[in-house]
Amino acid sequence: MKKLTIIGVGFVVLVFAGAAFAYPHVFFLSTIKHSNFNSASQNIYIDPNIGESEHKNILALLDNSKERIINKYGEFTATPVIVVTGTLENAKKYGLEAFPGRAFAAPWEQYVVINYQTHDINLLAHELMHAQVRKVLGYWAYLTKIPTWFDEGVAMQVDFRERYQVDYKSFSQEEISRVKTLSSPTTFWTNSREQNLKNYRAAKAAVQKMLSIYQPEKLYPMLLRIKQGENFNNVFNLTTKS
């Protein structure tokens, strides 16, 4: 038993070290509580370059974002570590690069990183919804069983930014079929901003159409079926490749 424990600990250390080497922002996120970021609330860390007078507004916006998810899907149970950056240097350090916000997951924790300069309720709700999907599925099921187009489409249902507004009834069915082939991050995201916009819009329309059949409040129970071993296509009665 002692030998197995040592092996297990050694494996965890290797995984952590490998992630830190390949993705340095994961290391920084994992050690955020030891940084100079201010702990504004449980699991919420705010860049020291953001004035304390803004903390209340940030916390209120986070609450409103969670409420939007609750109104759409029924509940919000995820507890990701939320990091709000206030400078370009810290945005890069914690993995944002040119993104206004991103959701990250490691086997030991979930993280949502937001750029204070470009944040709004749509962005926050979108990224928090990724964390909620991972919470329901668990890390490995999310990583191996959920196609990227679906993950993004689910998050887009609580993202009301004007450029992403679609109605699946009048949306191109050819585009919906196309986006369902984009099952991995490397196929969904491209070097073209215009193409990425098309992918997001199509993913939103595709999931919107699915939710018109199954209803949003049934999403979590269906995800739990996938977590328990059922095939994604079977759960959602899809015949197209995902």
pLDDT digits (tens, 9 = 90+) for 29-62: 999 999 999 999 889 999 999 999 999 999 999 9
Domains of the chain, each with CATH number or no CATH: 19-143 (3.40.30), 146-242 (no CATH)
pLDDT digits (tens, 9 = 90+) for 76-110: 999 999 999 999 999 999 999 878 999 998 889 99
Percentage of residues in the chain with pLDDT exceeding 70?
A: 89
pLDDT at 19 over 50: no
Question: Own/partner pairs for 73-78, CB < 8 Å, 24+ apart?
Answer: 73/129, 73/132, 73/216, 73/217, 73/219, 73/220, 74/216, 74/217, 74/220, 75/220, 76/128, 76/132, 77/132, 77/135, 77/136, 78/110, 78/128, 78/131, 78/132, 78/134, 78/135
